């Protein structure tokens, strides 16, 4: 084990901790920006450090293609290659099984991908994935899991869960650097509580440095989503970090933190920036909208970042989707927002004011009191009283939660 996890504060299930990794000492809850190909799109390392980024994510599948793990090993690892001084986590390539399914063929041996670069087949086994990750050298490496979309049903989910458990042993056996790289197991099992339970127990038996909750953030309804997270965080060991993969929206991060998760990653903040959308306490701000053309306010008056301190919505509006600089400035702001959220989660728990923080957050995002039902239910399990955030009549709005985009639209600012 190459990490140290010390809990500094709690509120019910929520925890704030110090996670000491080989390259950096981190504060959790934390959000990890995704730098798939060895860079966070459009931002330099010193900008990432300045906004408080602690861990970044690299992707095994993409890096193995270009520039190849052998080259990264020769360069002394990805840290050295990209000159990132802080912590790093690599995904195993498992998610590409889902995102690039049309290019993938999954068997007990591993996943065969058709390379998008040259069309040749590329077999990713648990052994190969770990080997590649050993060469890349990140502080945290992920086991290769058999990932299925939560929107599918049937025996495939059970098959994937058991295979994930068989693969974790192969990953552990293949891992050559347990003293400076932490192998996290990933809980699968779809939306089935029994399957999830079996998987958690199986992984915990292996006594890994940390655990991830995988297979979510793929379009499942929010009600199922939070229940899986709640079940897993209740069953996973207290003294080890819990990473909910692919999350995500600020609201989701707040809920999952209340339920006892510590780490998150998602392309959302940077990707949505490239489409001209800014993250703000009220939800999102679409800078492309015509009304922004003469709005001389900053994106977020409460945000102290370089972008909000210097630029108006009107100026960013004329840049977005047309000039690279627009993407860069919005990505900077959005990541700053996520780092600020992480810091606020950590400090509010440590300082004993987590419920107030949650209530403030929800009131700002749902000024009409229309907090989605799934959030109300999750907060009840988390033991946080948010009745003051919800409109008195009707109590909490019925929200069928099947369409995340629709939900997001509800929180758009009135302009």
Partner 1 sequence: MKFAVKKALSSGGARVGVLEVGSCPAPIETPALLLATRKGLPHFISPDLLPSLPSPDSNLLQVSPLHFLEGLSTTTISKIGGLHQMLGLQQHGIAAVPRDSIQCLPESKAATKLGASFETPCGRLLIKPKDYVEMISCMQPNIWASLADEVPAWVSEKRNKTSVDRTLRWLDDCISLYPAAGSIFGAIVGGTNLEERKRCAEEVAKRNVSGYWIGGFGLGEGIDERPALLRAVIDILPDEKPRLTCGLGLPEEILQGIAAGIDLFDSTYIYSLTVGGFALTFSLDNSREQHSLQSDQIGSDLTKINLRATAYRKDMSPILENCTCYTCKNHTKAYINHLLNVHEMLAQILLEIHNTHHFLRFFHVIRTAIRDGSFEEFRQAFLESRREHFKGEAIST
C-alpha–C-alpha distance, residues 165 and 198, integer Å: 9
**Is 93 labelled a binding residue?**
yes
Contact 389, 369 (CB under 8 A): yes
* 347 marked as binding residue: no
- The residues pairing with 186 across neighbouring beta strands, listed in sequence order, are 212
Positions that interact with partner 1 (CB under 8 A): 37-39, 41-47, 50, 62, 66-67, 71, 74-75, 81-83, 293-294, 296, 306, 309-312, 314-315, 317-319, 322-325, 327-329, 332
- DSSP H helices in 240-386: 250-258, 268-274, 306-310, 313-319, 324-350, 354-365, 373-382
Is 402 marked as binding a ligand? no
Instruction: Using only the alpha carbons of the chain, give its radius of gyration.
Output: 21
Distance CA 375, CA 270 (A): 25
Cβ proximity to partner 1, 119 vs 296, nearer residue: 296
DSSP, collapsed to helix, strand or coil, labels residue 175 as: coil
Count of Cβ atoms closer than 10 Å to residue 342 Cβ: 24
Smallest separation (angstroms) from partner 1 to the CB of 231: 38
- Of the pair 75, 408, the CB lying nearest partner 1 is at 75
Nearest to partner 1 of 145, 295 (CB atom): 295
Is 38 annotated to bind ligand? no
Q: Please give the Cα distance from 94 to 59 (Å, whole number).
A: 10
Q: Which is nearer to partner 1, 256 or 308 (CB)?
A: 308
Q: Which of 91, 295, 300, 370 is catalytic?
A: 91
Decide if 221 is catalytic. no
Q: Is 308 marked as a binding-site residue?
A: yes
C-beta of 24: minimal distance to partner 1 in Å?
A: 18
Please give the C-alpha separations between residue 357 and each of 180, 253, 346, 376, 390, in angstroms, as whole numbers: 36, 13, 11, 15, 15
Distance in angstroms (rounded) separating the CA atoms of residues 81 and 94: 23
Is 94 labelled as part of a ligand binding site?
yes
Which is the catalytic residue, given 139, 146, 262, 265?
A: 265
Shortest Å, Cβ 71 to partner 1? 6
- The minimum distance between CB 298 and partner 1, in angstroms, equals 11
- Least distance (Å) between residue 23 CB and partner 1: 16
Closer residue to partner 1, CB minimum distance, 285 or 362: 285
- Residue 256 in marked binding region: no
Angle between helices 354-365 and 324-350 (to 10 degrees): 140
Per-residue burial over 298-311, b = 16 or more CB atoms within 10 Å of its CB, e = otherwise: bbbeebebebbeee
Nearer to partner 1, 152 or 318 (CB): 318
Q: State the nearest-atom distance from the C-beta of 306 to partner 1, in Å.
A: 5
**Distance (Å, rounded) from C-alpha 339 to C-alpha 322?**
27
Distance CA 344, CA 286 (A): 24
Q: Is 91 a catalytic residue?
A: yes
Q: Which amino acids are annotated as binding site, given as ranges?
A: 91-95, 145, 188, 215, 303, 305, 308, 333
What residues are annotated to the active site? 91, 265
Q: Which amino acids are annotated as binding site for substrate, given as ranges?
A: 91-95, 145, 188, 215
């Amino acid at each position: 084990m190459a990490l140290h996890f010390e809990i500094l504060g709690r509120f019910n299930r929520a925890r704030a901790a110090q996670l000491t990794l080989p390259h950096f000492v981190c504060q959790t809850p934390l959000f990890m920006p995704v730098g798939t190909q060895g860079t966070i799109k459009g931002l330099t390392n010193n900008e990432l450090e300045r906004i408080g980024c602690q861990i970044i994510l690299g992707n095994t599948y993409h890096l193995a293609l270009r520039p190849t793990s052998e080259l990264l090993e020769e360069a002394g690892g990805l840290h050295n290659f990209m000159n990132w001084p802080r912590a790093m986590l690599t995904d195993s390539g498992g998610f590409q099984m889902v995102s690039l399914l049309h290019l993938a063929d999954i068997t007990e041996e591993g996943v065969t991908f058709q390379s998008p670069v040259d069309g040749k087949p590329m077999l990713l086994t648990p052994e190969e994935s770990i080997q590649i990750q050993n060469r890349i050298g990140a502080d945290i490496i992920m086991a290769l899991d058999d990932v299925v979309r939560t929107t599918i049903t049937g025996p495939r989910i059970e098959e994937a869960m058991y295979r994930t458990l068989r693969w974790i042993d192969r990953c552990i056996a293949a891992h050559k650097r347990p003293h400076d790289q932490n192998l996290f197991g990933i809980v699968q099992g779809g939306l089935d509580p029994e399957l999830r339970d079996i998987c958690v127990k199986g992984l915990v038996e292996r006594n890994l440095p940390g655990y991830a909750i995988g297979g979510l953030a793929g379009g499942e309804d929010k009600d199922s989503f939070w229940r899986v997270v709640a079940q897993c965080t209740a069953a996973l060991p207290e003294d080890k970090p819990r990473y909910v993969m692919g999350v995500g929206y600020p609201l989701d991060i707040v809920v999952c933190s209340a339920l006892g998760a510590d780490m998150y990653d998602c392309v959302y903040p940077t990707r949505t920036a490239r489409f001209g959308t800014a993250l703000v306490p009220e939800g999102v701000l679409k800078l492309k909208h015509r009304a922004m053309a003469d709005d001389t306010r900053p994106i977020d008056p409460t945000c102290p970042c370089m972008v909000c301190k210097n630029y108006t919505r009107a100026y960013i509006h004329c840049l977005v989707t047309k000039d690279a600089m627009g993407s860069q400035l919005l990505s900077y702001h959005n990541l700053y927002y996520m780092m600020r959220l992480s810091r606020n989660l950590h400090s509010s728990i440590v300082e004993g004011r987590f419920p107030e923080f949650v209530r403030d957050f929800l009131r700002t995002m749902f000024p009409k009191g229309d907090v989605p039902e799934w959030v109300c239910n999750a907060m009840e399990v988390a033991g946080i009283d948010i009745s003051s955030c919800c409109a008195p009549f009707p109590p909490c709005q019925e929200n069928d939660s099947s369409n995340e985009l629709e939900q997001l639209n509800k929180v758009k600012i009135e302009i």
